[in-house]
A = this chain, B = another copy of it.
Amino acid sequence: MKKSLIALAVMAAAGAASAQSSVTLFGIVDATISHYNAGGQHNTILTNSGYNSSRLGFRGTEDLGGGLAASFWLEAGLNNDNGSNGTTNTNNTLGGSTGGGGLTFGRRSTVSLSGGWGEVRLGRDYVPTFWNTTLFDPFGTNGVGTTIVQKAKTTTLATTLVPFATLAAPTQIAAQDPNAVRASNMIQYFLPANLGGIYGQASYAPSEVANGGRAGRFAGARLGYGAGPFNVAAAYGRTSGSGALLAGAAALQTMPDVSDWNIGGQWDFGMARLMAEYDRTKFSNGFGITPNSSLKGWLIGASVPVGPGEIRASYSREKQDVAAFSPRSSQWAVGYVHNLSKRTALYATYARLNNRGGADLAIDASLPQATAVNGGVNGNSSGLDLGIRHSF
Protein backbone atom coordinates (compact mmCIF):
# COMPACT_ATOMS: atom_id res chain seq x y z
CA MET A 1 0.00 0.00 0.00
CA LYS A 2 3.02 2.21 0.44
CA LYS A 3 3.08 5.30 -1.78
CA SER A 4 -0.12 4.44 -3.64
CA LEU A 5 -3.01 5.42 -1.47
CA ILE A 6 -5.02 7.15 -4.13
CA ALA A 7 -5.00 4.55 -6.84
CA LEU A 8 -8.22 4.09 -8.67
CA ALA A 9 -8.49 1.08 -10.86
CA VAL A 10 -10.22 1.94 -14.10
CA MET A 11 -10.90 -0.15 -17.12
CA ALA A 12 -8.49 0.49 -19.94
CA ALA A 13 -10.00 1.87 -23.09
CA ALA A 14 -8.31 -0.84 -25.14
CA GLY A 15 -10.76 -3.38 -23.90
CA ALA A 16 -9.58 -6.68 -22.39
CA ALA A 17 -11.39 -7.36 -19.14
CA SER A 18 -8.14 -7.95 -17.32
CA ALA A 19 -6.53 -4.80 -18.63
CA GLN A 20 -6.42 -2.27 -15.83
CA SER A 21 -5.05 1.21 -15.44
CA SER A 22 -4.54 3.53 -12.51
CA VAL A 23 -3.64 7.05 -11.50
CA THR A 24 -1.83 7.48 -8.19
CA LEU A 25 -1.23 10.49 -5.96
CA PHE A 26 1.82 9.84 -3.80
CA GLY A 27 4.24 11.66 -1.60
CA ILE A 28 6.65 11.81 1.30
CA VAL A 29 6.80 14.40 4.06
CA ASP A 30 10.06 14.00 5.98
CA ALA A 31 10.94 16.57 8.67
CA THR A 32 14.36 16.65 10.32
CA ILE A 33 15.73 18.41 13.36
CA SER A 34 19.40 18.80 12.43
CA HIS A 35 22.22 19.79 14.73
CA TYR A 36 25.58 20.75 13.21
CA ASN A 37 28.92 21.21 14.90
CA ALA A 38 31.70 22.72 12.82
CA GLY A 39 34.79 24.59 13.90
CA GLY A 40 33.45 24.89 17.43
CA GLN A 41 30.18 26.44 16.33
CA HIS A 42 26.80 24.82 16.89
CA ASN A 43 23.66 25.24 14.84
CA THR A 44 20.24 23.61 15.18
CA ILE A 45 17.58 23.94 12.50
CA LEU A 46 14.42 22.28 11.26
CA THR A 47 15.06 20.96 7.77
CA ASN A 48 13.65 18.17 5.59
CA SER A 49 14.41 14.89 3.86
CA GLY A 50 16.84 13.47 6.42
CA TYR A 51 15.76 9.91 5.63
CA ASN A 52 13.82 10.10 2.33
CA SER A 53 13.44 13.06 0.00
CA SER A 54 10.15 14.89 0.58
CA ARG A 55 8.01 14.91 -2.53
CA LEU A 56 4.55 15.13 -4.05
CA GLY A 57 3.74 13.29 -7.22
CA PHE A 58 1.22 11.98 -9.68
CA ARG A 59 1.81 8.86 -11.73
CA GLY A 60 -0.22 6.39 -13.70
CA THR A 61 -0.21 3.51 -16.11
CA GLU A 62 -2.59 2.62 -18.90
CA ASP A 63 -2.70 -0.94 -20.20
CA LEU A 64 -2.92 -0.68 -23.98
CA GLY A 65 -3.38 -4.42 -24.53
CA GLY A 66 -0.98 -6.89 -26.14
CA GLY A 67 1.60 -6.26 -23.41
CA LEU A 68 1.91 -2.59 -24.33
CA ALA A 69 1.50 0.10 -21.70
CA ALA A 70 1.67 3.90 -21.55
CA SER A 71 2.59 5.64 -18.33
CA PHE A 72 3.45 9.03 -16.88
CA TRP A 73 5.28 10.21 -13.78
CA LEU A 74 5.29 13.77 -12.39
CA GLU A 75 7.21 14.16 -9.12
CA ALA A 76 8.09 17.38 -7.31
CA GLY A 77 10.47 18.00 -4.41
CA LEU A 78 9.13 19.64 -1.23
CA ASN A 79 10.86 21.66 1.48
CA ASN A 80 8.19 20.86 4.02
CA ASP A 81 9.97 22.65 6.88
CA ASN A 82 8.95 25.96 5.32
CA GLY A 83 6.61 25.18 2.43
CA SER A 84 9.03 26.10 -0.34
CA ASN A 85 9.93 23.91 -3.29
CA GLY A 86 12.61 22.02 -5.15
CA THR A 87 14.02 23.15 -8.49
CA THR A 88 14.69 21.72 -11.94
CA ASN A 89 17.03 22.47 -14.84
CA THR A 90 15.78 23.25 -18.33
CA ASN A 91 18.93 22.57 -20.35
CA ASN A 92 21.34 20.50 -18.22
CA THR A 93 23.88 23.30 -17.79
CA LEU A 94 24.98 25.14 -14.65
CA GLY A 95 22.96 28.12 -15.85
CA GLY A 96 19.75 26.21 -16.57
CA SER A 97 18.40 25.90 -13.06
CA THR A 98 14.83 27.12 -12.73
CA GLY A 99 11.67 26.55 -10.75
CA GLY A 100 11.59 26.44 -6.99
CA GLY A 101 9.19 29.36 -6.86
CA GLY A 102 6.45 26.77 -6.62
CA LEU A 103 5.68 23.10 -7.09
CA THR A 104 8.14 21.94 -9.73
CA PHE A 105 8.23 18.44 -11.18
CA GLY A 106 12.02 18.49 -11.10
CA ARG A 107 12.44 15.08 -9.45
CA ARG A 108 10.89 13.27 -12.39
CA SER A 109 8.75 14.33 -15.32
CA THR A 110 8.33 11.56 -17.87
CA VAL A 111 6.00 9.80 -20.27
CA SER A 112 6.73 6.22 -21.31
CA LEU A 113 5.74 3.52 -23.73
CA SER A 114 6.67 0.00 -22.64
CA GLY A 115 6.27 -3.55 -23.83
CA GLY A 116 8.02 -6.90 -23.93
CA TRP A 117 10.89 -5.15 -25.71
CA GLY A 118 11.56 -2.75 -22.84
CA GLU A 119 10.62 0.86 -22.16
CA VAL A 120 11.14 4.14 -23.98
CA ARG A 121 10.98 7.01 -21.48
CA LEU A 122 10.97 10.71 -22.43
CA GLY A 123 11.74 13.60 -20.09
CA ARG A 124 13.55 14.48 -16.86
CA ASP A 125 14.81 11.60 -14.72
CA TYR A 126 17.78 10.29 -12.72
CA VAL A 127 20.99 9.88 -14.71
CA PRO A 128 22.37 6.30 -14.88
CA THR A 129 25.32 6.87 -12.51
CA PHE A 130 23.14 8.29 -9.74
CA TRP A 131 21.29 5.00 -9.42
CA ASN A 132 24.51 3.33 -8.25
CA THR A 133 25.39 6.17 -5.90
CA THR A 134 22.05 6.20 -4.12
CA LEU A 135 21.12 2.50 -4.19
CA PHE A 136 24.47 1.32 -2.81
CA ASP A 137 24.59 3.97 -0.06
CA PRO A 138 22.91 2.70 3.14
CA PHE A 139 21.80 6.30 3.74
CA GLY A 140 20.37 6.62 0.22
CA THR A 141 22.04 10.02 -0.36
CA ASN A 142 19.76 11.64 2.25
CA GLY A 143 20.70 13.55 5.37
CA VAL A 144 24.03 14.04 7.09
CA GLY A 145 25.00 10.43 6.34
CA THR A 146 24.93 10.92 2.54
CA THR A 147 28.05 9.37 0.99
CA ILE A 148 30.84 11.86 0.56
CA VAL A 149 31.02 10.75 -3.06
CA GLN A 150 27.76 12.56 -3.68
CA LYS A 151 28.56 15.54 -1.46
CA ALA A 152 31.73 16.21 -3.46
CA LYS A 153 30.00 15.99 -6.83
CA THR A 154 27.28 18.47 -5.94
CA THR A 155 29.67 21.08 -4.52
CA THR A 156 31.30 23.76 -6.64
CA LEU A 157 34.83 22.65 -5.92
CA ALA A 158 36.53 25.58 -7.58
CA THR A 159 35.33 27.74 -4.75
CA THR A 160 35.32 25.38 -1.81
CA LEU A 161 38.68 23.69 -2.43
CA VAL A 162 41.25 26.32 -1.77
CA PRO A 163 44.18 24.91 -3.80
CA PHE A 164 41.94 24.60 -6.83
CA ALA A 165 40.80 28.17 -6.60
CA THR A 166 44.33 29.47 -6.38
CA LEU A 167 45.53 27.86 -9.60
CA ALA A 168 46.36 30.16 -12.48
CA ALA A 169 43.31 31.45 -14.29
CA PRO A 170 43.66 29.41 -17.50
CA THR A 171 43.16 26.16 -15.64
CA GLN A 172 40.35 27.25 -13.35
CA ILE A 173 37.09 25.51 -14.05
CA ALA A 174 33.87 25.40 -12.08
CA ALA A 175 34.16 21.78 -11.12
CA GLN A 176 30.53 20.94 -10.48
CA ASP A 177 28.42 18.41 -12.32
CA PRO A 178 25.03 19.94 -13.23
CA ASN A 179 23.74 16.44 -13.94
CA ALA A 180 25.11 14.62 -10.88
CA VAL A 181 21.58 13.51 -10.00
CA ARG A 182 19.20 14.10 -12.89
CA ALA A 183 19.04 15.39 -16.44
CA SER A 184 16.21 16.94 -18.45
CA ASN A 185 15.19 16.37 -22.08
CA MET A 186 16.27 12.73 -21.99
CA ILE A 187 15.32 10.05 -24.44
CA GLN A 188 15.90 6.82 -22.53
CA TYR A 189 15.65 3.13 -23.28
CA PHE A 190 15.36 0.53 -20.50
CA LEU A 191 15.86 -3.21 -20.96
CA PRO A 192 12.82 -5.37 -20.17
CA ALA A 193 12.59 -7.10 -16.78
CA ASN A 194 12.76 -10.69 -18.04
CA LEU A 195 16.44 -11.02 -18.92
CA GLY A 196 17.46 -13.39 -16.13
CA GLY A 197 18.67 -10.69 -13.76
CA ILE A 198 20.34 -8.45 -16.32
CA TYR A 199 19.06 -4.88 -16.31
CA GLY A 200 20.19 -1.74 -18.04
CA GLN A 201 19.42 1.56 -19.65
CA ALA A 202 20.78 4.02 -22.19
CA SER A 203 20.06 7.74 -21.82
CA TYR A 204 20.59 10.67 -24.17
CA ALA A 205 19.64 14.36 -23.99
CA PRO A 206 20.41 16.80 -26.82
CA SER A 207 21.96 20.19 -26.15
CA GLU A 208 19.21 22.79 -25.91
CA VAL A 209 21.18 25.94 -25.20
CA ALA A 210 21.51 27.17 -28.78
CA ASN A 211 21.28 26.04 -32.34
CA GLY A 212 24.17 23.72 -33.04
CA GLY A 213 25.73 24.16 -29.59
CA ARG A 214 26.96 21.28 -27.46
CA ALA A 215 26.60 22.56 -23.87
CA GLY A 216 24.28 20.43 -21.78
CA ARG A 217 24.29 17.44 -24.10
CA PHE A 218 24.15 14.32 -21.97
CA ALA A 219 24.80 10.67 -22.77
CA GLY A 220 24.97 7.79 -20.34
CA ALA A 221 24.27 4.12 -19.76
CA ARG A 222 23.98 1.58 -16.97
CA LEU A 223 24.26 -2.20 -16.97
CA GLY A 224 23.69 -4.44 -13.98
CA TYR A 225 23.02 -7.94 -12.78
CA GLY A 226 20.88 -8.82 -9.82
CA ALA A 227 19.93 -12.29 -8.67
CA GLY A 228 18.86 -13.40 -5.22
CA PRO A 229 20.99 -11.64 -2.61
CA PHE A 230 23.50 -10.31 -5.15
CA ASN A 231 23.35 -7.10 -7.15
CA VAL A 232 26.05 -5.24 -9.06
CA ALA A 233 25.92 -2.45 -11.65
CA ALA A 234 28.25 -0.19 -13.57
CA ALA A 235 27.25 3.15 -15.07
CA TYR A 236 28.67 5.98 -17.14
CA GLY A 237 27.56 9.49 -17.95
CA ARG A 238 28.99 12.43 -19.84
CA THR A 239 27.82 16.04 -19.98
CA SER A 240 29.22 18.32 -22.65
CA GLY A 241 30.41 21.69 -21.41
CA SER A 242 30.42 25.10 -22.95
CA GLY A 243 33.34 26.86 -24.60
CA ALA A 244 35.29 29.98 -23.54
CA LEU A 245 37.14 28.65 -20.51
CA LEU A 246 40.10 30.94 -20.77
CA ALA A 247 39.05 34.46 -20.05
CA GLY A 248 39.94 35.31 -16.46
CA ALA A 249 37.61 35.30 -13.49
CA ALA A 250 34.40 35.18 -15.49
CA ALA A 251 35.52 31.89 -16.97
CA LEU A 252 34.83 30.28 -13.62
CA GLN A 253 31.17 30.41 -14.57
CA THR A 254 31.77 28.38 -17.68
CA MET A 255 30.94 24.71 -17.56
CA PRO A 256 33.58 22.07 -18.22
CA ASP A 257 32.94 18.70 -19.78
CA VAL A 258 32.06 16.26 -17.01
CA SER A 259 32.39 12.51 -17.27
CA ASP A 260 31.40 10.18 -14.47
CA TRP A 261 31.61 6.43 -14.15
CA ASN A 262 31.00 4.22 -11.20
CA ILE A 263 30.42 0.68 -10.11
CA GLY A 264 28.52 -0.46 -7.09
CA GLY A 265 27.05 -3.55 -5.58
CA GLN A 266 25.56 -5.23 -2.57
CA TRP A 267 25.22 -8.69 -1.00
CA ASP A 268 22.30 -9.38 1.25
CA PHE A 269 23.39 -11.89 3.92
CA GLY A 270 19.99 -11.73 5.58
CA MET A 271 21.32 -10.58 8.93
CA ALA A 272 23.09 -7.75 7.14
CA ARG A 273 23.23 -6.16 3.73
CA LEU A 274 26.76 -5.08 2.71
CA MET A 275 27.37 -2.61 -0.07
CA ALA A 276 30.22 -0.79 -1.79
CA GLU A 277 30.70 1.79 -4.52
CA TYR A 278 33.60 3.29 -6.44
CA ASP A 279 33.12 6.49 -8.40
CA ARG A 280 35.34 8.58 -10.62
CA THR A 281 34.26 11.97 -11.93
CA LYS A 282 36.46 13.91 -14.32
CA PHE A 283 36.19 17.58 -15.21
CA SER A 284 37.91 18.55 -18.44
CA ASN A 285 37.81 21.65 -20.55
CA GLY A 286 37.59 19.78 -23.81
CA PHE A 287 40.15 22.03 -25.44
CA GLY A 288 43.36 20.23 -24.52
CA ILE A 289 44.28 22.55 -21.70
CA THR A 290 45.93 20.87 -18.74
CA PRO A 291 45.67 20.13 -15.95
CA ASN A 292 42.17 18.79 -15.73
CA SER A 293 40.81 17.67 -12.37
CA SER A 294 39.05 14.60 -11.14
CA LEU A 295 37.28 13.22 -8.11
CA LYS A 296 37.87 9.66 -6.93
CA GLY A 297 35.67 8.31 -4.19
CA TRP A 298 34.51 5.11 -2.63
CA LEU A 299 32.12 3.87 0.02
CA ILE A 300 31.57 0.77 2.08
CA GLY A 301 28.37 0.41 4.01
CA ALA A 302 26.07 -1.91 5.84
CA SER A 303 22.44 -2.15 6.78
CA VAL A 304 21.39 -4.45 9.62
CA PRO A 305 17.69 -5.19 10.30
CA VAL A 306 16.85 -5.11 14.03
CA GLY A 307 13.23 -6.00 14.80
CA PRO A 308 11.04 -3.29 13.26
CA GLY A 309 14.12 -1.16 12.68
CA GLU A 310 17.38 -0.96 10.81
CA ILE A 311 20.91 0.00 11.83
CA ARG A 312 22.87 1.77 9.08
CA ALA A 313 26.57 2.56 8.84
CA SER A 314 29.00 3.72 6.16
CA TYR A 315 32.52 4.95 5.62
CA SER A 316 33.36 6.93 2.50
CA ARG A 317 36.39 8.77 1.13
CA GLU A 318 36.86 11.29 -1.63
CA LYS A 319 40.06 12.61 -3.15
CA GLN A 320 40.56 15.32 -5.71
CA ASP A 321 43.42 15.22 -8.19
CA VAL A 322 44.38 18.63 -9.49
CA ALA A 323 47.94 19.69 -10.39
CA ALA A 324 50.20 19.25 -7.37
CA PHE A 325 47.37 19.35 -4.86
CA SER A 326 45.28 16.50 -3.56
CA PRO A 327 42.54 17.71 -1.24
CA ARG A 328 40.83 14.76 0.38
CA SER A 329 37.93 14.15 2.72
CA SER A 330 36.59 11.21 4.66
CA GLN A 331 33.38 10.55 6.50
CA TRP A 332 31.82 7.94 8.71
CA ALA A 333 28.14 7.76 9.51
CA VAL A 334 25.93 5.64 11.71
CA GLY A 335 22.19 5.68 12.19
CA TYR A 336 19.05 3.90 13.26
CA VAL A 337 15.62 3.85 11.62
CA HIS A 338 12.60 2.76 13.66
CA ASN A 339 9.60 1.82 11.51
CA LEU A 340 6.28 2.65 13.18
CA SER A 341 4.61 1.24 10.06
CA LYS A 342 5.50 0.75 6.43
CA ARG A 343 4.65 4.40 5.85
CA THR A 344 5.98 6.09 8.97
CA ALA A 345 9.44 5.92 10.54
CA LEU A 346 11.48 7.74 13.17
CA TYR A 347 15.20 8.02 12.53
CA ALA A 348 18.50 9.26 13.93
CA THR A 349 21.78 9.64 12.02
CA TYR A 350 25.17 10.87 13.17
CA ALA A 351 28.00 11.61 10.75
CA ARG A 352 31.45 13.11 11.04
CA LEU A 353 33.44 14.53 8.12
CA ASN A 354 37.19 15.24 8.09
CA ASN A 355 38.99 17.42 5.53
CA ARG A 356 42.72 17.27 4.71
CA GLY A 357 45.07 18.64 2.06
CA GLY A 358 43.07 21.80 1.57
CA ALA A 359 39.61 20.29 1.33
CA ASP A 360 36.67 22.02 3.01
CA LEU A 361 33.60 19.95 2.20
CA ALA A 362 30.57 20.54 4.44
CA ILE A 363 28.62 17.98 6.42
CA ASP A 364 25.50 19.17 4.59
CA ALA A 365 26.17 21.08 1.40
CA SER A 366 22.48 21.48 0.62
CA LEU A 367 21.91 23.99 3.42
CA PRO A 368 22.05 27.77 3.11
CA GLN A 369 24.27 27.50 6.18
CA ALA A 370 26.69 25.22 4.34
CA THR A 371 29.61 27.59 4.53
CA ALA A 372 29.10 27.71 8.26
CA VAL A 373 29.02 23.95 8.74
CA ASN A 374 32.18 22.88 6.96
CA GLY A 375 34.64 23.74 9.69
CA GLY A 376 36.82 25.63 7.22
CA VAL A 377 39.80 24.38 5.19
CA ASN A 378 41.11 21.12 6.63
CA GLY A 379 38.40 21.43 9.27
CA ASN A 380 36.14 18.79 10.69
CA SER A 381 32.40 18.90 11.10
CA SER A 382 29.67 16.66 12.38
CA GLY A 383 25.92 16.49 12.13
CA LEU A 384 23.04 14.80 13.89
CA ASP A 385 19.66 14.25 12.22
CA LEU A 386 16.54 13.39 14.22
CA GLY A 387 13.36 13.07 12.22
CA ILE A 388 10.12 11.55 11.08
CA ARG A 389 9.37 10.25 7.59
CA HIS A 390 5.73 9.85 6.57
CA SER A 391 4.78 8.59 3.11
CA PHE A 392 1.44 8.38 1.36
Residues of A within 8 A of B (CB): 1-2, 5-6, 8, 10-14, 21-23, 25, 27, 29-31, 33, 36, 41-46, 56, 58, 60, 62, 64, 68, 70-72, 74, 76, 78-85, 88-91, 98-111, 113, 122-124, 184-187, 205-206, 208, 210-212, 340-344, 368-369, 372-373, 388, 390, 392
Contacts and interface: CB of A to CB of B under 8 A. Distances in A.
A111 B368 contact: no
What DSSP secondary structure best describes chain A's contact surface?
Answer: strand
Given A29-B72, A82-B185, A104-B101, A60 B211 contact: no
A56 B56 contact: no
24 contacts: A6-B25, A13-B341, A27-B72, A29-B109, A43-B211, A45-B206, A46-B185, A46-B186, A46-B187, A62-B344, A62-B392, A76-B83, A76-B103, A79-B90, A80-B123, A82-B109, A83-B106, A83-B107, A83-B109, A83-B124, A84-B90, A85-B99, A111-B390, A212-B372
A41 B211 contact: yes
A23 B98 CA distance: 30
Contacts of A23: 5-6, 25, 392
A12 B76 CA distance: 25
Contacts of A25: 6, 23, 25, 58
Contacts of A81: 109, 122-124, 184-185
A340 B62 CA distance: 11
B64 A341 contact: yes
B343 A70 contact: yes
Nearest to A72: B29
Contact of A44 (B46, B100, B206, B342): B206
Contact of A101 (B5, B44, B60, B99): B99
A1 B5 contact: no
Contacts of A105: 78, 80, 83, 85, 103
A368 B213 CA distance: 13
Nearest to A92: B82
Contact of A31 (B102, B111, B340): B111
Contacts of A36: 211
A36 B11 CA distance: 39
Contacts of A70: 340-341, 343-344, 388, 390
**5 interchain residue pairs of minimum CB distance:** A102-B102, A101-B101, A211-B372, A82-B184, A31-B122
